Amino acid sequence: MSSTPGPARSPGDAKYRSPLAPPKSFLWTRRIALTLLGLFTATPLFVMISSSVKPLVDVQGSFDWLPSHLTFQPYVEMWSTVPLARYFVNSTVVAACSTVISVVIAVFAAYAVSRYRFRGRQVFRVTVLSTQMFPGILFLLPLYLIYVNIGNDTGITLSNTRLGLIVTYLTFTLPFSIWLLAGYFDSIPRELDEAAAVDGSGPLGTLLRIVVPAARPGIITVGVYSFMTAWGEVLFASVMTDDNTRTLAVGLRNYASENDVYWNQIMAASLVVSVPVVVAFLALQRYLIAGLTAGSVK
C-alpha cells in the first residue's frame, strides 16, 4: 500500500527547523548590531573622504556632510605644503627594512626555539613574551640615551637617523614575531624535518626548503605586523627624527601652522597614507588570519 507524499518542507518552516539553528530574533538582532557597527566604523572614513574634496573654507566653517563645491585641489597642494614625498620615502625605507630584518631574524630564532632543546629555552620564551607587557614610552628615554652615548663613543649616529628608527622598531616587533613564529613552527610536524634529514638535508636546508614554505601564513603575519607597526608609529618617530628623517605619521602634523590648519589637505594626506597598509592587509588577509590563529593555539 503506497503512501501519498506530504507537502514539501520549506527550509524556513519553524516546524522543521533544526534544533541547533538560532532563532529569528537572534538573527535580526545580529543584523542590526552589525549594521550599527558598520555605520559607526564607516562614518569617520566618509568624513575623511568628504573633507578631502572640500575647499578649505568649507572645512573651517560649519560642518556639512557633503561638499558644497567638489575639488581635488587638496590632493595636489598637499605635496607642496609640506615635503610629503620625503616623508613617504622615509616611512617606506624604515618600514620595509624593519619588516625584512624582523622576519629574517624571527625565522631563525623561532626555528631554534621550536626545534632545539637548550638550557634557558622556556625562560627565553617567557622573557620574549613578557616584553609586550610594558608600554613603549618606558623605553623612550633609555633608548635615546643609549643612542646618544653610542654616537659619542663610536661615532655611529643613531639618533635622528633612519637607521636608529629601524633599530628602535626592531625592539618592539622582534619579541612578538619570535613568539608567534615559534608557536607556528611547533604546529609543523617534526617528521618533515626527520624526512629531510634522511634525504641528506642539513638544518639550514630543512628550514629554508621545508619549514619556511609550510609556515608561509605565519611569516606573512609577522611581516604585516612589523610593517604596520613601523608605518604608523608616532611616539618614537617624533623624538628620534629630524626634518630630513621625519616619517609620515609625524609629518602630517606639519599641515597645522601658527596661522592656519589645512584640514582638507590633512584629510587628503591621511587617505593617501592609509592606502598602502589597507591594500597590503586586504591582499594578505587570509594569510594573516591563518597565521594568528595557528600561533595563538600554541
Contact 91, 228 (CB under 8 A): no
Cβ of 222: how many Cβ atoms within 10 Å?
29
DSSP 10: P
**Predicted local confidence at residue 17, as pLDDT:** 55
- If you search the block for the grid coordinates 609629518, which residue do you land on? 251
Which ranges of 4-135 would DSSP assign to H, the alpha helix?
24-52, 56-60, 73-81, 84-115, 121-130
Contact 175, 110 (CB under 8 A): no
Q: What separation in angstroms does the CA of 1 have from each of 4, 80, 84?
A: 10, 89, 85
pTM over 0.95: no
Residue 113 buriedness (CB in 10 A; 0-12 / 13-18 / 19+): buried
The full 3-state SS of 155-170, as one line of letters, equals CCCCCCCHHHHHHHHH
pLDDT averages per 10-residue partition of the chain, 298 residues: 51 52 75 90 88 83 76 88 90 93 93 84 79 81 90 87 92 88 86 84 85 86 88 88 88 80 87 83 69 50
- N-term to C-term CA, the chain: 61
**Predicted local confidence at residue 259, as pLDDT:** 74
DSSP states along 214-258: HTHHHHHHHHHHHHHHHHH--HHHHHS--TTT--HHHHGGGGB-S
**Predicted local confidence at residue 295, as pLDDT:** 46
Q: Among 175, 135, 147, 149, which Cα is nearest to 241's? A: 147
The whole-angstrom separation of Cα 116 and Cα 110 is: 10
**Predicted local confidence at residue 214, as pLDDT:** 85
Grid cell digits, residue 274: 592609509
